[in-house]
Structure 1
């Protein structure tokens, strides 16, 4: 996890007895952003103890937190992710305690120091190549577009899609309109790799000019490479087309597949 925007002096989350003693003496701050529905807390200020992050949630959110924990334990063999310090699960609740990662987010780096923009993009592309080079045969998690389309349909039917958060190009659209637009891009022939699932500037940590890890890996799994490329490309959009183009070139794509790019941008709107 990373330093982010916090609400200082918050009340600590309810803790299982097995976790409470170890966290005594920490100062708690609740993050102003994070996985939808999850309580995300930064724990710091305990003498001679490292900073930690805690995610806590109930019901479906507990399932998402459990998914993230299992993926972190697998990914750590290949790329740097937060260490799972402790995990507790009951039938309807989950607590995930993680180490804090060094550095700042790629977004913070680009916003605070616009001049090193190309170097940041080069570091992001290098890390993405490293992630996508993990053997697909070794990955136990399937996150391909058929799985995500099924989940997207469930979210639409449940009224869980935040249409007010759509990109500017789809402002005023309904979730059904996004769904219909997705169908026009099918069938899709995937180029399967191990993906992060939400490879955005907010989820990539940079220190001394290099990406030192990624966070929020609950959607990780085998999927088309454009699952990650589309989200990173979209995140870079606010910093200019030159950086978007550089990202593709540094990744190794001189001519991006626009159909796949648009499909995954549409799909991401539903999550």
Structure 2
């Protein structure tokens, strides 16, 4: 995901949802998905119908997980022939890749790691209706390598990269966003892309710092496997 550069075509449904509020593009992705700020109190995510992403599924996840861990509150969601959309309440914190935290990556990494551990510890696996297992992710495709045994089964964020961590003013973890693939899986399914993201976003790898703040020893087999899976699905 990235900050939109240049003119952004605002979907008709977003204009209708905004009413008289100002519309500010804030994020875009390679699949054509867009996020806009509506005034100062709401965000709307929109994704085109031709993608495999259905934001109604993310809305289901957010509505379920908010009772266990801080995430945006869903205000409305729906779809039409052009795509799907979801409006959430604005949260008062900044992303871990905002300018303030980009200038202090060690602190941002620690917040992301402690936040991911807090999420894994707080959200109950037994009650979770969503799955993010290896088989769910690969579907009917043959796996070239069998997955390693489960280290610890948790409810995974599903995209635990740095931009999806929100940090409070004091440098502590505050909330998570972008929960479209949240589901039960081995915790290394989250840890691998989270660690990869430290280098992608900050220009160097903070693997040791991330694992130390999360509170787990390096498991090279699981890290390598779930990083391969992340890049393959």
How high is the TM-score relative to the length of structure 1? 0.73
1:38 CA drift (Å): 2.2
Count residues with an aligned counterpart. Answer: 227
**Quick one: distance in 1 between partners of 2:194 and 2:25?**
26
Render the CA deviation track for 1:211-235: whole Å, top value 9, x for unaligned: 2111110010001101111011111
Asked which structure has the greater CA Rg, the reply is 1
How high is the TM-score relative to the length of structure 2? 0.84
Residue 43 (str. 1) matches residue 6 (str. 2):
no
CA contact (8 A) 1:7 1:31 kept: no
1:68 CA drift (Å): 0.7
1:127-206 alignment, distance < 5 Å? 127-133=115-121, 134-150=123-139, 153=141, 183-184=144-145, 186-190=146-150, 191-206=152-167
Among residues 195, 213, 219, which one is paired with 1:250 in the alignment? 213
Which structure has the highest helix share of the two? Answer: 1
Render the CA deviation track for 1:183-230: whole Å, top value 9, x for unaligned: 23x142122101001100111111211221111100100011011110
User: Structure 1 pair 189/15, CA: closer, same or farther in 2 (3 Å)?
Assistant: same
Task: Point out where structure 1 has 5 or more consecutive residues left out of the alignment.
Answer: 45-49, 154-178
Render the CA deviation track for 1:116-172: whole Å, top value 9, x for unaligned: x43333222221111111220011101111111228x4xxxxxxxxxxxxxxxxxxx
**Quick one: distance in 2 between partners of 1:88 and 1:147?**
24
Residue 108 (str. 1) matches residue 103 (str. 2):
no
Q: RMSD of aligned C-alpha atoms?
A: 2.7
CA contact (8 A) 2:27 2:34 kept: no
1:43-122 alignment, distance < 5 Å? 43-44=38-39, 50-59=40-49, 61=51, 63-90=53-80, 93-108=83-98, 112-114=102-104, 117-122=105-110
Among residues 113, 117, 132, which one is paired with 1:125 in the alignment? 113
**Quick one: distance in 1 between partners of 2:5 and 2:183?**
32
1:6 CA drift (Å): 4.2
Shift >6 Å, 4+ stretches: none
Task: Point out where structure 2 has 5 or more consecutive residues left out of the alignment.
Answer: none
